[in-house]
Structure 1
Amino acid sequence: MQANVVVVGSLNMDLIVRAPRLPVGGETLAGHGFFTAAGGKGANQAVAAARLGARVAMVGCVGDDAYGSELRGGLLAEGIDCSAVDVAVGTPTGIASILVDDAGQNAIVIVAGGNGEMSPVRVERHEALLANAEVVIAQLEVPAAAVEATLSRAHALGRMVILNPAPAVGPLPAHWYGLVDYLIPNESEAALLTGLPVDSPETALRAAQCLLEAGARRVLITLGRQGVLYADATRHLHVPVAPVVAVDTTAAGDTFVGGFAAGLAEGMSLEAAITLGQQAAALAVTRPGAQPSIPHRHELPA
């Protein structure tokens, strides 16, 4: 299959606990639900792009365990090319422990497992996939060297490159900005990248301008219920989103990124691709889980 969206990134099994609220340090709370679901930012974005109309290939690494087999099988069931999902022998598959409160907010701890085995060598081994893509997506749940190799090779090949800098821990390497066509952080990630507070479209614009000055070509900052702020060197726009009742915000950002990428690969305008991602993310937060919450194209408004 010749993919028009290639996702290089993480695959996790999510271990999800529901509780009335998030605990404070040292506190034990009684939860009221537990389930497992396929996740990982890379895999979530691949599933979102596939369900929203793109032909997708996944580049990643799982462990040689039951979780790894289940995750790979789930992607195959979505029609995603998994020929570049490697298996690391003697390594567990990555997991995410996710606590979700009754307001739909979450707290997440990830253990890299097989995701930590991603390397420039593994990326280069699958360069043909990058060469045939319209859009290449990367995130930060795999080692930085693998992310840099992805950005560098995709940029050199003239592909459209999206970086979702999540989870962010601080400023990005300065030379990465010039390799990325669309930088897509959420408000907390934008704050970590810039050192500026980000809690509104106005503050998001200031952060976006800082990122543009750092070398980013185009910046989209997702603001949850406040929509998306877009900026480039010549213009900016705020795209609001219709209000919904959130059940679980897990994978909302991944759904937006995958939907936006699918729209770009399809040849949509910037505004139409943003709207596609927003509509999908808004529906996803009304459902529990990561990949189980991601909608199909036919579920969205016409």
Structure 2
Amino acid sequence: MDGKVVVIGSLNYDIILKTDRMPLKGETHSAESADCCCGGKGGNQAVQCAKLGIPTYMSGHVGNDCNGDILIQGLKAYGVDTTYVKRASAASGMGIVHTLQDGSVFATITRGANHTIETKDVDEIAHLLDGQTVLVLQMEIPKQVLEYAIKTAAKARCTILFNMAPAMEFDETYMKMCHYLIMNEVEAQFYTGKELTSVPVAKSELIAFAREMGNTCIFTLGKQGAMACRDHEFHYKESFSVKAVETTGAGDSFVGGLAYGILNHMDLGRMLDFATCCSALTVQNTGAQGSMPDIRAVLEFYSRYSK
């Protein structure tokens, strides 16, 4: 595999509460347990890429606090290059995650240091961007930084993988400059303006959306699988029948799998299969980064699936 991944994005210290249900308004409800781990969409996606054996660079901000120490150490432990992770005066970003017995997740994040990222941070990693690089972006950092990163990467002929999560208003001019747009069913409904009530409806909306954007668009649909469309090419992959312990990080694992597929010149269908394997392995454990599979685990799972 030639090439590398550069991630510009968020880093959060996550507190994961396992609970039988969400609390009611005004109620104090006891969780079954609490775990703390490193997270943030940017950090998670960087870790999954590194675990798949991709040379991976992370650009982001953490606070000058103990959580910032933990976040940087976590990235390094998985082989992510943290040269471009900076300290900010704001507190490190944080995520509070409620995970239910069926594996579903409800999460709230604080912006913290993630929203101190500036365009000059993009300039500092610009020398890493070239035709052999996949730039991975998400929407937990300032919008103007994302726009500037897309413009910078486009000039460098870099492949741009944009995970449009969490959903927010964004100029379509920049969306069309990206090579891949990835979103889950909630985000897809936000950007298409349509309710994705079934797989056939999602397929119709995806094809129309990809045609409008002029690039490769991917919808992840949770238990219903994932689908991808590029020009007149369409692929649908059902989800694997695995026991979901928790879905935190599943989407980020999927993005890492896509980056691996791009750098290994997989066709769109195979890339979708590979990314789905990554997610299927991630949901079988608690937490995001620790649950994400390494390349050996994915290839073994993928080999069994292929047979």
Give the CA deviation at 1:209.
Answer: 3.0
Q: Distance in 2 between matches of 1:115 and 1:199?
A: 34
What is residue 79 of structure 2 aligned with on the other side? 79
Task: Tell me the number of residue pairs that the alignment of Structure 1 and Structure 2 aligns.
Answer: 299
Give the letter aligned to residue 159 of structure 2: M
Q: Which deviates more, 229-238 or 248-257?
A: 229-238
The alignment's C-alpha RMSD in Å is: 1.6
The answer to whether structure 1 residue 65 and structure 2 residue 38 are counterparts is: no
Task: Supply the AA of the counterpart residue of 2:178.
Answer: V
2-structure distance, mates of 1:133, 1:71: 27
Distance in structure 2 (CA, Å) of the matches to 1:268 and 1:74: 30
2-structure distance, mates of 1:205, 1:164: 19
Are residue 51 (structure 1) and residue 84 (structure 2) matched?
Answer: no
Structure 1 residues not aligned, in runs of 5+? none
1:208 has 2:210 as partner: no
User: Do the aligned partners of residues 213 and 27 (structure 1) sit closer, same or farther apart at CA in structure 2, a change above 3 Å counting?
Assistant: farther
Return the offset for 1:207.
2.4
Which residue is equivalent to 2:130? Answer: 131
Look up the match of 1:270.
Answer: 268
User: Which residues in structure 2 correspond to 1:82-101 (within 5 Å)?
Assistant: 82-88=82-88, 90-101=89-100
Structure 2 segments unaligned to the other structure (5+ residues): none
Q: How does 1:1-302 map to 2 (within 5 A)?
A: 4-88=4-88, 90-131=89-130, 133-169=132-168, 171-300=169-298, 301=301, 302=303
Amino acid corresponding to residue 122 of structure 1 in structure 2: D
Do the aligned residues in 2 keep the contact of 1:177 with 1:216 (CA within 8 Å)?
A: no
**Displacement of 1:265 after TM fit?**
1.2
Deviation at 1:132, TM superposition (A): 6.9
CA deviations over 1:13-68 (Å, ceiling 9, x no partner): 00111111122322221111011100000010011111122111111111111111
Indicate the SS of the match to 1:54: coil
Q: What is the rounded CA distance, in whole Å, between the counterparts of 2:278 and 2:69 in structure 1?
A: 27
- Matched residue type, 1:57: Y
Partner of 1:13, secondary structure, is strand
| Identical aligned residues as a percent | 32
- Partners of 1:216 and 1:76 in 2: how far apart? 37
Q: Where has structure 1 moved over 3 Å in runs of 4 or more?
A: none
- Report the Cα offset of residue 210 of structure 1: 3.6
Q: Distance in 2 between matches of 1:212 and 1:19?
A: 38
